[in-house]
Amino acid sequence: MGKLDGRVVLITGAARGQGEQEARLFASEGAKIVVADVLDDQGEAVAKDLGNGNAVYVHLDVSKEEDWVAAVGSAKAAFGKIDGLVNNAGILRFNELVSTPLDEFQQIIQVNQVGAFLGIKTVAPEIGAAGGGSIVNTSSYTGVTGMAYVGAYTATKHAIVGLTRVAALELAAQKIRVNAVCPGAIDTAMSNPSQLDPEANTEEAAQALDELYRKLVPLGRVGKPEEVARLALFLSSEEDSAYITGQPFVVDGGWLA
């Protein structure tokens, strides 16, 4: 018996990184997965790897409402319902607040914050119609503390915590639980861009990252995307977290302790 047997979960940003690990872990626990991303080749490869009948890929730019409507249609055509959502897609840019161009600030809000809002708006009614389920939003340790030079990102990750609390209050009557994961530094392309460079020595870059986080993080290393996926699974599983809603959960190796 898997923890998500019979469940259909849409995961955004699932072509790589944490979203991909969530897709793989949730599928291993029996869920049917809607792999959603803007990276079509990678997303299709992840869905194919999960096996025909277990997953479908949909092109979904989370900042576009029409993409959400189409994705819900595709998910229902493939699996008949949706009763789980992981709002994972996100982007990061480094800039001092006073140097951040307005369009860059707005783009980050559009993807990280509006994207999660549109996910809740479009998918929650489907989860309600299916009899209830879970929504996991992806905030960050910058959703609970400040971090210099990532002001726009930090603002959106704080907003995700607020959105999570309000959605939990408004959706509880439909048996929809809404929580947030707040990862610390996780070894994905976002914090280790060398993963995207075929020329780069990724082993060396990973070691440099570990060296950096050995000093910053009490547990002495950067986090793995699977470790965030484990928390998202816990929050998606009725067996594990039926009485938990409206809360952000930090997974950061003790960085904020």
Which stretches of the chain bind ligand NAI, using CB under 6 A? 12-13, 15-19, 37-39, 60-63, 88-92, 111, 138, 140, 183, 185-186, 188-191
Q: For this structure, is 153 an active site residue?
A: yes
Q: Shortest Cβ distance from residue 124 to ligand NAI (Å)?
A: 18
Residue from 57, 141, 149, 153 carrying the catalytic annotation: 153
Cβ proximity to ligand NAI, 19 vs 84, nearer residue = 19
Query: What is the CA 160 to chain-centroid distance, rounded?
Result: 11
Two tokens, residue 110: 């559009």
Contact status, residue 127 vs residue 82, Cβ threshold 8 Å: yes
Q: Which of 38, 22, 17, 13 is nearest to 195 (CA)?
A: 17
Cβ proximity to ligand NAI, 26 vs 130, nearer residue = 26
Give the separation between CA 83 and CA 127, rounded to whole angstroms: 4
Q: How far is CA 48 from CA 8, 13, 55, in A?
A: 16, 16, 7
Q: Shortest Cβ distance from residue 106 to ligand NAI (Å)?
A: 13
Cβ proximity to ligand NAI, 97 vs 212, nearer residue = 212
Amino acid symbol at 70: A
Cβ proximity to ligand NAI, 19 vs 248, nearer residue = 19
Q: What is the dihedral of CA 120, 125, 127, 131, to 10 degrees?
A: 150
Two tokens, residue 101: 């161009």
Give the separation between CA 14 and CA 7, rounded to whole angstroms: 17
The catalytic site residues sit at 153
